[in-house]
Chains A and B, each alone.
Chain A
């Protein structure tokens, strides 16, 4: 029964080229879409895969709309509202009509939930955008609050002490703090330790890390120091972008510690 999630998936439905997504399969009660995010699709496909597997483990077989790209946040956060809206329009086109849209990123979920309503005010697709905003969930939020999952039956290969880095947009934007801790508390061989400044920004902030490189770098140093001081072998976070940023710093500093995405832990994908 372990980890054969993909084999339990139903066969692929018919691919509708115009709507760029799978049609629902007969008998599927709930149509759940998986939004992998551009970063977990292209930079860290293993995270995209792990999150998909976690959902399958929890008994949900999401559809993966093949036309998906990005939520539009990079342009939106840079102030380029028109450009962000163009990409968001595509997102709405791809994800309209689903019962739930699940994504392994608090940041992307927060973009859709918080900013789509205003971005589509008076827009022909406003109704769809509002529908999507109300039905987009971050992965652990969906697992715990919607599915009621607690224990995914996962064990780490060896006893591990891990600290959580609460990614900003999930933590403060969506109030995600309890859900990952609950899920991780049921992972065998895993001891959770709290880290000083667990909710402090790592300094990523999208283009901020490039445009305000010095400030972002200083924030990253603060975060690396907290990780160094924490009594842990591993840091777990819910956003691939923070993970990329902190790991970039740890790697540059020559630290043996690493950050992993919570989906990788919950999928039992850590070796």
Chain B
């Protein structure tokens, strides 16, 4: 996490009018598009389960599938490199750049390269790197980081985008996304043609033929991996899948969940470098497979998180994300899935607030095309934090006291009576309280608290059976 506390970042986000407008517009469109697209399938629930099983079978046989993938890529004339961590991946890319005398790199969208901060590593070696995805390019111009897995500039309004393009590149001011897009197209054209090397992420790697699949809409990814003479694809090791049938279901659920499309505009299927008889395409192809903590996750009870296909549906659906946006999550992966994989990849104590930044409402799980049970994993991460001694002494004592009271009917009744009496005194006959003492002032900061009803249900129940008149307290 950054030095600033999570609570501070959240407060800034909630007070940022521009961010709130952008989040409202963006996430509402995202949720509605997904709901419509999923409802138009043959059977959304059955398909989600089918997609889930495809991911589970792949994770069950990861080493075999990765070896098969590697064999097939080499047979197709490509190279496969392995990276234990972020530094090793960046080093591989730099080595490739040196071998091919690379000065200019053009890059398609890739979350893994955000994870390893590859752009920074390239720039330090004096290599010019340009993001080619429209949103990523604008983020790069602004010197910011993506705030969404699929829509990196979701935090920006069109007005702020126009201003940025005007300030940085002299675009005439406009409020038309069409005009901004056409402007960036013109700027980017030359960059593709001049680049010495193209980098892309990987959405799925199909082991049985050694094919990597990328999905995109803009054509930037296809240009980045087709125009330059060298193509480097980078993937987390969990991206491998067994069969083309699995690809068919996963890629379609990805499109429908991410953007509400039946298919994204371009599904690029790359099997190695250009063949000797082909007229174009890169002469060299490298695939870099990154671990960076993933094999550790596979061995843990959080293996399910590796099933994620990075569609971003859980972000749009999450009422927390809808309010605080992606940057508040503090690292590369935001939203509900980020609250899980950030502590898993970086260590639980690097982001101790994230597992608690959820009301456990389950909207993420309901939106997930591969049925990842995010709420349950958040609960387990909270348990891990408690076991690691993260909560304050006050919380720990409070919980111990709570357990003592609530496992004893006598103490429970006594506590209930005292609390009820206190709330009624503090409410002063108004039925609710506007203020509670710490630590409960968090409640009354935003809402009133009710005075407890009296007598308790238990007492009413007992009275009834003693033949006393029905005490019908009005609701």
* Complex contact flag A–B (Cβ < 8 Å): yes
**B456 engages A205 (CB within 8 Å):** no
Is the Cβ of B360 less than 8 Å from the Cβ of A220? no
Contact across chains for B358 and A205 when beta carbons are under 8 A apart: yes
Flag if A20 contacts B409 (CB, 8 Å). Answer: yes
Say which one of B91-99, B149-157, B244-252, B362-370 lies at the interface with A.
Answer: B362-370
Query: Are the CB atoms of A168 and B475 closer together than 8 Å?
Result: no
Q: Given A67-B409, A209-B442, A41 and B10 touching (CB < 8 A)? A: no
List chain A residues, Cβ under 8 A from B470.
6
How far is it, in angstroms, between the C-alpha of A208 and the C-alpha of B363 when the chains are bound?
Answer: 16
Contact with B along A162-183 (1 / 0, CB 8 A): 0000001100110000000000
Smallest CB-CB separation from A251: which chain B residue?
B448
Q: Is A11 an interface residue (CB 8 A)?
A: yes
The reply to whether B409 and A79 form a contact with Cβ atoms under 8 Å apart is no
Q: Inside 8 A of B459's CB, which chain A residues have their CB?
A: 45
Cβ–Cβ < 8 Å partners of B452 in chain A: 42-43
Q: How far is the CB of B25 from chain A (nearest CB, A)?
A: 14
CB distance from B335 to the nearest CB of A (A): 13
- Do B449 and A260 touch across chains, with their CB atoms under 8 A apart? no
Please give the distance in Å from A132's CB to the nearest CB on chain B. 16
Chain A residues, CB < 8 A from B412: 38, 69-70
Kindly list chain B residues whose C-beta atoms are within 8 Å of the C-beta of A261: 475
Contact check, B361 vs A172: say whether CB atoms are below 8 A apart: yes
Interface residues on B, range: 35 or more
Q: Mark A192-208, 1 if CB is under 8 A from B, else 0.
A: 00000001110111101
Does the CB pair B379–A270 fall under 8 Å? no
Q: B7, B379, B448, B462: which contacts A77 (Cβ < 8 A)? A: B379
Contacts of A205 in B (CB 8 A): 358-361
Chain A positions 59 through 71: 1 when the CB is less than 8 Å from some CB of chain B, otherwise 0: 0000010111110
B2-21 at interface with A (beta carbon < 8 Å): 7, 10-11, 14
B461 adjacent to chain A (CB < 8 Å): yes
Contact B453 A43 (CB under 8 A): yes
Q: Are A41 and B456 in contact (CB under 8 A)?
A: yes
A48 CB-CB contact with B under 8 Å: yes
Does the CB pair B445–A66 fall under 8 Å?
A: no
Q: Considering the chains assembled together, what is the distance between the CA atoms of A155 and B281 in angstroms? A: 73
A49-B460, A214-B11 given; A44·B453 CB < 8 A: yes
Choose among A12, A80, A200 the residue with the greatest number of B CB atoms under 10 Å from its CB: A80
* A46 interfacial by beta-carbon distance below 8 Å: yes
Within 8 A of A (CB), among B421-474: 432, 434, 439-440, 442-443, 445-450, 452-462, 464-465, 470, 472-474
B293 within 8 A of partner (CB): no
Closest to A218 in B: B323
Contact with B446, one of A52, A220, A244 (Cβ below 8 angstroms): A220
B357 / chain A contacts, CB cutoff of 8 Å? 212, 215
Q: Given contacts A45-B473, A219-B320, is CB(A208)–CB(B386) below 8 Å?
A: no
- Chain B residues within 8 Å of A270, by CB: 475
B382 on interface, CB distance cutoff 8 Å? yes
Question: Are A219 and B409 in contact, with the CB atoms below 8 A?
Answer: no
Given A203-B319, A213-B445: A45 and B454 interface contact (C-beta under 8 Å): yes
Partner-contacting stretch, out of A24-32, A85-93, A122-130, A137-145:
A85-93
**Of B363, B384, B396, the contact of A200 (CB 8 Å cutoff):** B363
Digitize B288-315: 1 where CB-to-A-CB distance is under 8 Å, 0 elsewhere.
0000000000000000000000000000
- The yes or no answer to B403 lying at the interface (CB within 8 A) is yes
Q: Chain A contacts of B385 at CB under 8 A?
A: 79
B266 at the interface (CB under 8 A from A): no
- A36 CB–B CB distance under 8 Å: yes
Q: Could you tell me which residues of chain A, from 92 to 142, have a CB within 8 Å of some CB in chain B?
A: 115
Jot down 19 A-B pairs with beta carbons below 8 A, ordered by A.
Answer: A38-B406, A42-B457, A43-B452, A47-B475, A74-B402, A80-B396, A82-B403, A83-B400, A168-B363, A213-B446, A214-B7, A217-B446, A218-B14, A219-B359, A248-B450, A251-B432, A252-B448, A264-B475, A269-B474
